[in-house]
Structure 1
Amino acid sequence: MTYFIKADRFLLENEEKQGGYLKVSNGRFGSFVETIPHNTTIVDWSGYTVAPGLFDTHIHGISGHDIMDGTVEAVHGISESILPLGVTRFLPTTLTSSKEDLNTAIAAVNSAVNQGLKGARSEGIFLEGPYFTEKHKGAQNPDYFRDPDYAEFQEWQHIAGGSIVKIALAPEREGALEFIRLAHQDGVLASIAHTDAGFNRSRQALDTGAGNFVHLFNGMSGLHHREPGVVGAALTEGRAFAELICDGHHVHPEVASLTAHIKGDKLILITDCMRAGLMPDGNYQLGEFPVVMKDGIARTEAGSLAGSTLKLIDGVKNLHEWSGKPLHEIWHRASLSPAASLGRDNELGSISDGKIADYVVIDDNISVQAAAVAGEVKYKKERK
């Protein structure tokens, strides 16, 4: 199927294009044209802006669902819940848990993906843990923390049908550097998280093949002028990506803005959303931990932040406002940078000739009006 999108504005990688027509053919973007042939299909979004679909590479759950529920229904529920929020691609994300529970959760994701997700599409599984350090455990269960074991990881990869594309671990644990080397060799994004490593150890991990820092500033040793720590390594290392939760609670707006200026296109906006997202305040579970959400902020009984309830598009809005950077630049930190971190930027993340036609239609308030996956409009906001 071929059609042309008409809109007031298009958010491109390096600019905001005014007017024109964008070709979509067989699920992929074509080129822009000023005039179109007769007898062609026009999808008219005059008065609106068209942007690339958002890509959440770190999301545990939403709308009462969680990947650690270990059910295909939870995976489908997350997929369908995030599409109206402008997210067209995501990484179903696990938590530290027992080997058996992780087996079940991974198998459920694999089954749901094989059945076909009706909303946002999965681009692979993210294992957050279990190879972490207790000092910065956050909402991860330390009962299951252990040293990295690549044979164990390969068992999970087998259950996943080879779909695990990202794993987070603490680089100071015994055997971590060798694990990172093997993961990198196999094309898996080794990420640094829930760690008390110092600056030098973090650099060693990067030299070995690690390529990402998970929810920067949270769950890691902080920046100090005599020991830069994990945060210092993330901010001074141009090779590595760094995730940021821009809800105003996990990271102060000024620090988020500073990070955006330092990291540039190596910054990835994420949600780290858990099952309480889109739900009312109340009591919830994050893995095996009871969580209380009050005023939209989820915390464990010990007071630690327990993931977030952030919508990725709100993270874009927030950082756009805090940083003063143009919308097209910040938007791509939630679409193109995530894709690039996984080596998928040749196919996803921006409106570019030949790429998969994932796109979102937004109004002047950056509110989602429609969302398309591979050229097919799968969500359209009801007009009042």
Structure 2
Amino acid sequence: MSERKLKIFNGNIITPYRIIKNGTLVVCDGTISDVIEGDIEVPGAVQIDAKGKYIAPGFIDMHIHGGGGFDFMDGDVSSFLKIAETHVKYGTTAMCPTTLTSELAHLLETLDHYETAKAINKTGSQFLGMHLEGPYFSKNQSGAQDPRFMRNPEPREYEKVLFHAQSIRRWSAAPELKGALEFGRHLKALGILPAIAHTDAIYEEVLEAFENGYTLATHFYSAMSGVSRRNAFRYAGAIEAGYLIDEMDVEIIADGIHLPPPLLKLVYKIKGASRTALITDAMRATGMPPGKSILGNKKDGLEVLIEDGVAKLMDRSAFAGSVATADRLIRTMVNEAGVPLQEAIQMMTATPARILDVADKKGTILKGKDADLVLFDEQINIANTIIKGEIIYSRELELQYNPILVKE
């Protein structure tokens, strides 16, 4: 059988070390085989003229709930596939489907749907494993999560979940809860990443949690304690702990709304690109027109309003979810937070790849890595999304078949 070859030339290739001007990238059987300056002949290869566009590693979204009108908690396999197909258009080549707090039976059902969807997913972002967000959270920091299902971690319950599914990549919990440290140690022993989230913990509690495996702060700043006062004494919270613990990784919803530009600049200044991952935390309304939507399960989820590029509660008293896409996160970091493009890309590629322990194959453009690639212009408009050497999305073809998408 002959090799499947792809040649992408005349592009600006973003590597971990520099941007190669007028570069050529060669793919053989889904793997990057050559990255050079200039052009070379590759007989038998499918060719893409990048026409001066950037060629970046595929975007990795560690925390995502939905898109295109679907949510991972909807209770069916097709929702997983439709969400993956939606986000591949925005450059996301891999993702961790994320749950919400729910009844145990619903959680187990969702994990089963993941396994089925992963086996047949051919036209969307790859699935890297499930992210369980909850139900072990502080009710004081419930955010948009349903407090009815929040509880302390119990070994009998979480061991049942872990035995049921081998697909769990990460699990977010409030580390101050009774049993949370034991829970973190158990996850770490299984190679699953524990993360702090929806937490009222003070610095000392987060530090102890870090020592017990909680090395990531989920949607940093959101549903997370800051400086508090107890009996006249001030205590640093989870946010301050994220800054003070140098080795703590943080993920941020960099839409410019959940975190405004000054906070994005602060996170970048203190944590840097190597410790900061960009996430969409996207809900079902992502990629859909403004108006009413549902947060969570389509049957009994929370009705929300999409306007101003974010989901809000119907009374507009608080945010209720993100409708960000990966390309938007990078645009925001570059244009509003002043982060160099190469480092903004790192936050959406190499950093999440390291955190998720898939950096041996993903996250950078280097020989031997998976050919997960994104082509985009100066405004970070996605032209092509390529997964393991296969062209999964082409903006040019989409416009040919859907001319209504052409902007005035």
The normalised TM-score by structure 1 is 0.95
- Correspondence 1:1-384 to 2 at 5 A: 1-33=4-36, 34-37=38-41, 39-41=43-45, 42-160=47-165, 162-223=166-227, 226-264=234-272, 265-287=274-296, 288-301=301-314, 303-382=317-396
3-state SS in 2 of match to 1:81: helix
- Checking the alignment, whether the CA contact within 8 Å between 1:13 and 1:329 is kept in structure 2 is no
* 293-302 or 338-347, which deviates more: 293-302
Whole-Å Cα distance in 2 between the matches of residues 321 and 295 of structure 1? 18
CA contact 2:7–2:42 (8 Å) conserved in 1: no
In the aligned structure 1, how far is the partner of 2:162 from the partner of 2:171?
11
Which runs of 5 or more residues in structure 2 are unaligned?
401-408
Query: Secondary structure at 2:384's aligned position in 1?
Result: strand
Answer with 81-90 or 26-35: which moved more.
Answer: 26-35
CA distance in 1, matches of 2:29, 2:42: 19
Report if the CA contact (8 A) 2:14-2:365 is conserved.
yes
Number of positions where the alignment pairs a residue of Structure 1 with one of Structure 2: 383
Residues of 1 paired with 2:100 and 2:122: CA distance?
22
Whole-angstrom distance in 1 between the partners of 2:147 and 2:115: 26
Percent identity reads: 33
Between the aligned partners of 1:258 and 1:151, the Cα distance in structure 2 is 41
TM-superposed deviation, 1:279: 1.4
1:35 Cα shift? 4.7
Distance 1:273 1:26 in 2: 32
Amino acid at match of 1:70: G
Equivalent pair of 1:94/1:102 in contact (CA under 8 Å): yes
Q: Is the 8 A contact 1:79 1:117 kept in 2?
A: no
Matched-pair contact (CA < 8 Å) for 1:138–1:304: no
Q: Measure the CA separation in 2 of the matches of 1:156 and 1:44.
A: 47
- Using the TM superposition, name which of 162-171 and 116-125 deviates more: 116-125
For 1:57, the aligned partner's letter is M
Alignment-derived partner of residue 404 in structure 2: none
1:49 positional shift:
1.3
What displacement does 1:116 show? 2.7
* Amino acid across the alignment from 1:267: T
Q: Give the Å deviation of 1:11.
A: 1.0
**Structure 1, residues 211-254: CA drift from partner, whole Å, max 9, x if none?**
11011111010146942210011112121210111112111211
Deviation at 1:87, TM superposition (A): 0.3
1:139·1:304 contact (CA, 8 Å) conserved in 2? no
Distance 2:180 2:85 in 1: 36
Q: What stretches of structure 1 of length at least 5 have no aligned partner?
A: none
Instruction: State the Cα distance separating 1:157 from its structure 2 match.
Output: 3.0
CA distance in 2, matches of 1:22, 1:117: 23
Deviations 1:28-47 (A, max 9, x none): 11232345246352432122
Cα deviation, residue 361, structure 1:
0.7
Given the two structures, how large is their TM-score scaled by the length of structure 2? 0.90
Alpha-carbon displacement from aligned partner over 1:32-80 (angstroms, at most 9, x marks no partner): 2345246352432122111111011111001110011011010000010
Question: Are the aligned partners of 1:7 and 1:50 in contact in 2 as well (CA < 8 Å)?
Answer: no
Separation (CA, whole Å) in 1 of partners of 2:142 and 2:42: 61
Runs of 4 or more consecutive aligned structure 1 residues displaced over 6 Å after TM superposition: none
SS of aligned partner of 1:323 = coil
Aligned counterparts of 1:102 and 1:282: Cα–Cα separation in 2: 28
Paired with 2:144 and 2:303, the residues of 1 have a C-alpha distance of 10
- Find the aligned partners of 2:168 and 2:33 in 1 and give their Cα distance: 31
Q: 1:146 deviation in Å? A: 0.8
Secondary structure of the 1:114 match is helix
Contact 1:7–1:20 (CA under 8 A) maintained in structure 2: yes
Alpha-carbon contact 2:55-2:373 (below 8 Å) kept: yes
Q: Pick which of 107-116 and 131-140 moved more.
A: 107-116
